[in-house]
């Protein structure tokens, strides 16, 4: 007998993770319309943008305007890689922050030019200050299963990194299969361990669909007790520092699967498809997720 949650929270990452690697420049007004439609569809937690250097991620150059002009509905995350990013985000009235680090040293160095240990040393005072100020902090753990440069990551390394963040007091761990190489058994085993060790911390699973195992991995994580998932409308995404990684698992496909399993997400599938319609014309590749393609065949 499967043990599954009755309610699942979807954290929509399309506006940030989904668009960060898009080659075409997406106008600010289009991003705002996309975000608003996602909110109208019932999305209550969302990654809006990231406060990073436009030199490295040009798509995020409008971060301050995005935060300032988005209706304050639910929990809205901004990704902040360093102290400067945090200060810019706070100036823009952000209140929920995401920090990130790779379990893999090589990935971390290519991403932000620091080893994992150096990143953690820099992040600790930032995280502790944010928590003292009453902000919500999620820690995004990249390359939790596999690294494009180092290969398989030992589960113990991922758990140890999570343990450090939990000891600092972060409220959430977003554990990512950054390049989409994990299989359902690996996902079940890691998330079962994380749920047992950190019962008072929100555990979120973040899957990419490189090998079309995203939905299978979500089912495995559900069985391990996970009830929070990062997903991206339209299956948008990819990482500029993870060669070969495709988009995130698609929100519409996840919502549909959960609905068919009588698991509530509070998200309207039709409105979700309409949100994808807003950004689809600006994408450099066609949207080919299952539910989106099916909606166009009616």
Query: Which amino acids are annotated catalytic?
Result: 239
User: CB burial class (10 A; 0-12, 13-18, 19+) of residue 143?
Assistant: buried
- What is d(CA 282, CA 27) in angstroms, rounded to the nearest whole number? 9
For the chain, the maximum distance between any two Cα atoms, rounded to a whole number of angstroms, is: 53
Q: How far apart are CA 115 and CA 126, in angstroms?
A: 17
Write the DSSP string, 220-249.
HHHHTT--EEEEBGGG----TTSTT--PBP
- The 3-state DSSP composition of the chain as helix, strand, coil percent (nearest 5) reads 45, 20, 35
């Amino acid at each position: 007998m499967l043990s599954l949650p009755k309610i699942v929270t979807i954290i929509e990452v399309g506006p940030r993770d989904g668009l960060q690697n898009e080659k075409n420049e997406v106008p600010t007004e289009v991003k705002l319309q996309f975000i608003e439609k996602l909110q109208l569809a019932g999305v209550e937690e969302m990654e809006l943008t990231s406060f990073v250097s436009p030199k490295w991620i040009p798509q995020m150059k409008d971060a301050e305007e995005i935060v300032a002009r988005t209706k304050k509905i639910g929990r809205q995350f901004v990704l902040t890689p360093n102290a400067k990013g945090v200060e810019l985000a706070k100036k823009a009235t952000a209140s929920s922050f995401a920090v990130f680090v790779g379990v893999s040293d090589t990935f971390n160095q290519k991403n932000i030019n620091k080893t994992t240990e150096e990143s953690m040393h820099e992040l600790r005072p930032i995280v502790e200050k944010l928590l003292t100020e009453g902000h919500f902090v999620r820690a995004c753990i990249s390359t939790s299963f596999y690294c494009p440069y180092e290969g398989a990551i030992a589960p113990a390394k991922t758990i140890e990194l999570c343990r450090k963040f939990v000891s600092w007091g972060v409220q959430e761990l977003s554990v990512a299969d950054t390049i989409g190489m994990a299989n359902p058994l690996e996902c079940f085993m890691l998330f079962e361990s994380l749920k047992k060790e950190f019962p008072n911390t929100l555990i979120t699973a973040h899957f990419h669909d490189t090998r079309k195992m995203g939905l299978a991995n979500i089912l495995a994580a559900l069985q391990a007790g996970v009830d929070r998932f990062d997903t991206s409308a339209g299956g948008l995404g990819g990482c500029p520092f993870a060669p070969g990684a495709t988009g995130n698992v698609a929100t519409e496909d996840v919502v549909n699967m959960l609905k068919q399993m009588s698991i509530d997400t509070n998200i309207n599938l039709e409105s979700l498809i309409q949100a994808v319609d807003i950004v689809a014309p600006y994408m450099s590749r066609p949207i080919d997720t299952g539910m989106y393609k099916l909606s166009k065949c009616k």
